[in-house]
Structure 1
Amino acid sequence: MNHDVILTCAVTGAGDTPSRNSAVPVTPKEIAQSVLEAARAGASIAHIHVRDPATGGVSHDIDHFREVVARVREADVDIVLNLTAGGGGDLIPELDRGVLRAGAGSDLQTPAERHAPVAELLPEICTLDCGSLNFGNMVYLNSADWLREHAALVKAAGVKPELECFDTGHIRFARQLIDEGLIDGDPLFQLCLGIPWGAEAQTQTMLTMRDLLPDNAHWAAFGIGRMQMPMVAQAVLLGGHVRVGLEDNLYLSRGIGADNAALVEKAVGIVESLGARVMRPDETRQHLGLRTPGGAA
């Protein structure tokens, strides 16, 4: 069991969720405010995507990231920042008169494009997805050589990568990146459970994935939807850290919509009911060996 728990809040994500829950933040101002509310509720880390303010859809606009980060850093509230660097991997294959191409709705970026907000804003953590996945009806595309290139960019920036693993093969590839010297320090893994069609959100799966990690790994896990809070408890009991937030789950309980602060408060309650505690942001930086915000390690 883990008695000192890092709690991440994934505040908005990139899915089509604002139409289903009005608390999902969309504009940079709303996203920053939600980050600060999650911090006040007890979150150690905020995981941040940005959205198109006009449509609520996915965005990679560095200006939006810049505004969110500035608003959070200027506030008198401490929280570790974890920027997504996993956007731009959505491939919807389409066969057009015998020619295979990226169909409407595809969203593809190079490693350098994915890395641009991280390189400029220097968060303490950024995500590095460790493989491709059949994600619903599309392919979430992450080729091995592109991930190697991306890992090298993150390493050069001095930012700690959070190794996002949606299945056991992703852990295998993450270990390969470590063996190749592309990951510095003790690695940080996020076990992503319940996403169609990746690893299931269940005890057996989490235990299997945990047992595949390197001995010196830090790790967290999350489940989506109704499995969010059960996976909080399970991760703590198996020795890991946790993640909640509106990116992964829109409801506080059946039929009751959530906001990020309420999800954090509920997760803090679960952690404390198990006899553990949630680490402060400053403790999180020390525990994971993170750089100071926007500066040197």
Structure 2
Amino acid sequence: MAKQKTIITCAITGAIHTPTMSDALPYTPDDIARQAIDAAEAGASILHLHARRPTDGGVSIDPKDFSAFLPRIKQATNAVINISTGGSLKNTIEERIAPALAFSPEMCSMNMGSMNFSFHPLAQRYEAFKFDWEKDYIANSDTYIFRNTFADIGNAATQLAPHGTKFEHECYDVGHLYNLKFCMDIGLFKAPIFIQFIFGILGGIGPEVDNLIFMKRTADRLFGKDYRWSVLGAGGAQMSLASTASQMGGNVRVGLEDSLFIERGKLATSNAQQVAKIRRIVEDLGCTVASPEEAREILALKGGDNVNF
């Protein structure tokens, strides 16, 4: 695959971290919009967005909560908007794709397999929580199965196909790559696909460079020249794996959804701070960061004028 510009994705808030864990984590529409715009100005060409309940920071998949910040972000920046279809681990696929169906974004996430997705060890790190829902939500995640069956994937892909929305195919383990290949073989997805290799989530593959090389080699064998790829390193693996990926010809993802820190033991002050850091690293290592329009061309997106917000 020819060397090309590096796309920076920023995942603004997510569905794992809770308000107690960091004062920088945005959950009101104002804060999500402001941090997304700042991240774009810092160099992110794709903004991966979840919604939150503005009253207490809980996870929301209500399109009304998305509508409170999506138009503001679009008006203020040319960045590609990528809406999550992950939502809460307890929601059905129909509930999870409702925002993408409502807003017809250029991109949305697509998880490529079911898994034991857990973050329950975080419950032991805090003596008190800002909101009543937080502790049980975290502690009980060891009972969750993040459901993404072939039927679920097919349902989401079929309903979103008329929208021309491309997917960030989130692969948490090597088996998810084979799931994706099967789905391409039966016509659910068309090249070029965009794969997000995810490392360091409990229940998925670990955040070692050997695993990154293994996932990349497997994807090369399965998809040849028909894919583009990016790396998400959770927690402390964020910057190191992103830096390595950029030198392997890949793209990168940062953001407070994936890590609350800017360096070991130091909380990030914003999403833009993480974007600025990885941009500096990528450019210092000799790569060029892609603009939003360049990202659209690389990923064959439909364009920001063809969304419903």
Quick check: 1:133 aligned with 2:115? yes
Q: Is the 8 A contact 2:17 2:257 kept in 1?
A: no
Equivalent positions of 1:238-249 (< 5 A) are 238-249=248-259
Contiguous gaps of at least 5 residues in structure 2: 119-141
1:217 maps to amino acid = Y
Runs of 4+ in 1 over 4 A off after TM superposition: none
Q: How many residues align?
A: 277
Amino acid in structure 1 at the alignment position of 2:299: L
* Aligned ranges 1:34-73 → 2 under 5 Å: 34-73=35-74
How far has the Cα of 1:108 moved from its partner?
2.1
Match of 1:128, as an amino acid?
M
Question: RMSD in angstroms over aligned alpha carbons?
Answer: 1.4
Please report how far the alpha carbon of residue 288 of structure 1 lies from its aligned counterpart in structure 2 after TM superposition: 0.9
Displacement after TM superposition at 1:135 (Å): 1.2
Deviation, structure 1 residue 170 = 0.6
- The reply on whether 1:261 has 2:272 as its aligned counterpart is yes
AA of the residue aligned to 1:227: A
- Which residue does 1:18 correspond to in 2? 19
**Identity between Structure 1 and Structure 2 (%):** 36
Q: In the alignment, does 2:267 pair up with 1:285?
A: no
Asked if 1:168 is matched to 2:174, the reply is: yes
Residue 108 (structure 1) aligned with residue 91 (structure 2): yes
- TM-fit CA distance, 1:178: 0.6
Match of 1:78 in 2: 78
Structure 1 counterpart of 2:283, from 261, 272, 278: 272
Q: In the aligned structure 1, how far is the partner of 2:29 from the partner of 2:166?
A: 24
Q: Is 1:192 aligned with 2:198? A: yes
1:101-125 per-residue CA deviation (whole Å, 9 max, x = no partner) reads xxxxxx222x332222112212111
For residue 230 of structure 1, the aligned residue among 226, 237, 240 is 240
Q: Aligned with 1:221: secondary structure? A: strand
- CA-CA distance at 1:294 after TM superposition: 4.7
Post-superposition Cα deviations, 1:177-231, rounded to whole Å, max 9, x if no partner, equal: 1111111231110011100020111111111111122111101011111110001
Q: Which runs of 5+ in 1 are unaligned?
A: 91-106
Residue in structure 2 matched with residue 221 of structure 1 by the alignment: 231
State the TM-score, normalized to the length of structure 1: 0.90
How far residue 145 of structure 1 moved from its aligned partner, in angstroms, is 1.1
8 Å Cα contact 2:78/2:304 also seen in 1:
no
TM-score scaled by structure 2? 0.86
Contact 2:18 2:58 in 1 (8 A): no
Contact 1:155–1:184 (Cα < 8 Å) also in 2: no
Following superposition, the deviation at residue 2 of structure 1 comes to 4.6
